[in-house]
Copies of this chain bind each other. A is one copy, B any other.
Amino acid sequence: MIRSALALLLLVPFALHAQQASPDLSDDALAVAAQLRETALAGSGAYALVESLTTEVGPRMAGTPGDVAAVAWAKAAFERNGFDTVSTQPVTFPAWRRGEERAAVLSPFPQPLHVTALGLSDGTGGTPLQAEVVEFESLQALKDAPADAARGRIAYVSLRMERKRDGGGYGIAGQARTHGAGVAASKGAVGYLLRSIGTDSDRLPHTGMQRYPDGVARIPAAALSNPDADLLSNMLRRGQPVTVQLELDVGTQGEATSYNVIGEIRGREKPDEVVIIGGHLDSWDLGTGAIDDAAGVAITMRAGALIGALPTPPKRTIRVIAFANEEQGIVGAKTYAAAQDDAAIVRHRIGAESDFGAGRIYGFATSALPAASEATVQQIAAALAPLGIDYLPGKGGAGPDIGPMAQRGMAWGWLAQDGSDYFDYHHTANDTLDKVDAAALDQQVAAYAVFAYLAAESDAGFGSTPQTPPAAD
C-alpha cells in the first residue's frame, strides 16, 4: 500500500506539468499522426518494396554489381514514392570479394564442413590450408591461453550465441567474430574458425565483419554453421587430433565506391531542419538481404512516402537515408556524419533507424531524457501506444547507422523491434523474402511515420547538441 501511494504521488508532477504547459505538439498534429498510423496499418506498401528489392536486385554486397543495381533501384524507388528530392552521396571503402569457399575434416573422420569466410578476411591463397584444430570455449578463453596455444593450428571458438528478444546475445558472441582472428593470430594460429554468431540450427553459416589488428598475421577466418560446429566439437571431444582443410578464395583488393541514397520530404516551415530515418541498402552476399536490411529501407521509405502524401507536409524536413555499406564498417553512415558541421548537428533534430529485421516494434525510447523535451516524447509515446508499443524510457540506443551522428551529438529515437528470430537468419543465405511478414512491416511503417511526423512537428526538439565523438576503435 505504501509503495503504491508513493508511486501515485510521484506521477502527480508529470500530470500537472502536462496539463499546465502549452503542449509542444498540437491536437491537429496528433490527429494527423493518428491518420498516418491507420493508413499504414491498412496496407503500407512496404512488403512490395522488400519483394522488389530482393527479387529484382537480390544480394547487394558493397562494391559488387548487385550494389550498383541497388543504388539505381533506391533512386528509382524514392522517385516513384513521391519524394521531393532524391540525391546520392559517394562512399568509398576497401573492395572485398568472395569466391569459392570450402572446408572439410581430413582426419580422423573425413566429412565436409559448411563454412563461410568472415567479411574482410584474407583467403587461403592457391594452396588449401591444412592444420589441426584446437578448440576454445570462448574468445576470453582464447585470450587467456598461453602465447603459443594455437601455434601452427586452426583456432576454433565454439561459444554458442543466446536467443533474446532484444538481440542481447549478439554483443558478447559477436566479439569473437570481430576480433577472434587477430587474437588467434597472436597465439600463433594459422587459421581461425568460429561457431556462427546465430541462434538457429540450420546448416547455413553466418558471415559478418572481422577486423585484423596491426602487428599480427592476417590469418584466414571463417564461420561454421551451428550444426557443423556441433560436429567439429563432437569430433574433438573424442580426444584424437582433428585435421581440417580450409579453402577460401576471398580477399580485399583496391577500393570501391557506392552511394548513400537520400530522399527528402521538404518541411513547410523550417526545411533546413531535418528528422532522419533510414536503413542500409547494402546486404551481405549470401542471402537476398530481406530482413537485413531491405525491410529497414522499405519501412522508412514508405513512412516518408506516407508523410509526403499528406495534404500538408510537417514543419521540418523528413530525410530518409538508404545508407551505403553498413555491413563492412558502417561506412556510409560515417561518411554522412563526417560531412556535417556542428551547425548541421543542431539542425538534425533527431534520427532513428530500422536495422533489426522485420519483427514488430514493441518499445520506444529516445536519448532526449531527462530534458525539456519530456512532454513531447510522452506525446509521441502516446501516439505510438495503439500500435502495441510501450514507452521504455532509459532503454535502447542509436543503431549502427545512426551511431556516427549520435556520437556527434544528434538526438536519437529507438523503435525496438522484436528480434527473437533475427539471428536465425542474419548474415546467412536464409535471409530471404519468406522471412518477412507484410502485416508486421505495416505496423513498423505506422510507427516510423508517427515518430518522424511528430518529431518534425516538434518545436521543443530533442536536444541535439554538438559533441566531440570519442576516438574510433
Q: Which residues of A contact B (CB under 8 A)?
A: 51, 54-59, 65-66, 109-112, 114, 201-204, 226-227, 230-231, 234-235, 287-288, 428-430, 432-435
Contacts and interface: CB of A to CB of B under 8 A. Distances in A.
Nearest to A233: B55
A235 B59 CA distance: 15
B235 A203 contact: no
Contacts of A59: 111-112
A286 to B, nearest CB: 9
Given A55-B235, A234-B51, A434-B227, A203 B112 contact: no
B55 A109 contact: yes
A230 B112 contact: no
Contact of A109 (B58, B202, B287, B430): B58
A429 B227 CA distance: 10
A203 B429 contact: yes
A48 to B, nearest CB: 11
B234 A111 contact: no
Given A226-B434, A434-B201, A288 B231 contact: yes
Given A203-B204, A203-B287, A57 B433 contact: no
A66 B231 CA distance: 16
Contact of A227 (B109, B203, B432): B432
Could you say how many copies of this chain the assembly holds? 2
A111 B65 CA distance: 11
Contacts of A429: 114, 203
A332 B138 CA distance: 46
B65 A110 contact: yes
Contact of A203 (B54, B230, B430): B430
A55 B432 contact: no
A114 B51 CA distance: 18
A28 B51 CA distance: 66
A55 B430 CA distance: 25
A288 B230 CA distance: 12
B234 A433 contact: yes
Contact of A201 (B110, B114, B435): B435
Contacts of A287: 203
A218 to B, nearest CB: 27
A414 to B, nearest CB: 30
A349 B380 CA distance: 75
A422 to B, nearest CB: 15
10 contacts: A51-B234, A58-B110, A59-B111, A59-B112, A66-B110, A202-B202, A203-B287, A203-B428, A204-B204, A227-B432
The 9 closest A-B pairs by CB, nearest first: A58-B111, A227-B432, A203-B429, A201-B434, A55-B234, A203-B430, A56-B109, A227-B434, A202-B202
Given A201-B435, A203-B204, A204-B204, A227 B430 contact: yes
Contacts of A226: 434
Given A288-B111, A429-B203, A434 B230 contact: yes
A65 B434 CA distance: 37
Given A110-B65, A204-B203, A230 B56 contact: no
Contacts of A433: 227, 230-231, 234
A201 B202 CA distance: 11
Nearest to A51: B234
